[in-house]
Amino acid sequence: MSRISNSAMLALLGGLLNGCGSTRQFVDQPHTTTLDEPQEDARHAIAELLGPMIPPYSVKLCEADPASRECKKDSKGIAATGVGGLLLPILPLTLHVRGMEVQRQHQAADGLTFAASLDATVDAIAPLCGTVEGKVISRDNDTASFQLRNFYCNWALVGNVIVNADLSVDSINVKERIVTGFYKLTFHGTGNATGSGYYKAVIVPKST
């Protein structure tokens, strides 16, 4: 009886893990195109886009189509899928990140550093992630990326996890305050999930 139960449990876990996302769609350093100012390189475009922004301001995220660079219908944000649970990691779950509110930012040698609060849900439950530290990197090879590394989150039924988000940049529209590119989203701990794809980000100033 025990052998049958163990076999059934292994089969269930295998099926759930096969349903997890992957990071295969992520492109680390695509060439960055500045759509409204083609002569600009990534470093100058990032500076023009974010330098004048005064926190707090919002960044809205969606899963997008790489060809049109437009949000997919009914997108709930960028996503990672996997399994989790406080006792056994067998609860299917999906993390959606719909954006963040940047609370403060500072110039750095290779771009910007910032602190933000996330707009996220795990199966409709908002996680407790506190203030997340991140950075925007602009490189000499005309590439740029947003990185949020090793931050802690906690939410019901799953427990404590460490989350990483990488968003590379393949286009910037300074005038429209739009960025597109590829993302990779992972977390591990009492839950484990991965996801990747193409995103669109819209920078929204604080309304006055």
Instruction: Walk along the chain (208 residues) and give the pLDDT tens digit of each residue.
Output: 444 344 444 344 444 444 466 788 999 999 999 888 887 899 999 999 999 999 999 999 999 999 999 999 999 999 999 987 665 556 788 999 999 999 999 999 889 999 999 999 988 889 899 999 999 999 999 999 999 999 999 877 667 889 999 999 999 999 999 999 999 999 988 888 999 999 999 999 987 5
SS3 78: strand
Beta strand 171-173 with 78-84 is unpaired
- pTM, full prediction: 0.86
Cα separations in angstroms, 112 against 24, 40, 47, 107: 27, 18, 9, 5
Number of compact structural domains in the chain: 1
Q: Render 3-14 in DSSP notation, one character per residue.
A: HHHHHHHHHHHH
Find the domain containing 115 and state its range. 2-204
Tokens describing residue 36:
């409204």
Nearby residues of 16 by Cβ (< 8 Å), 6 or more positions away: 83, 90, 92
State the Cα–Cα distance between residues 43 and 147, nearest whole angstrom: 16
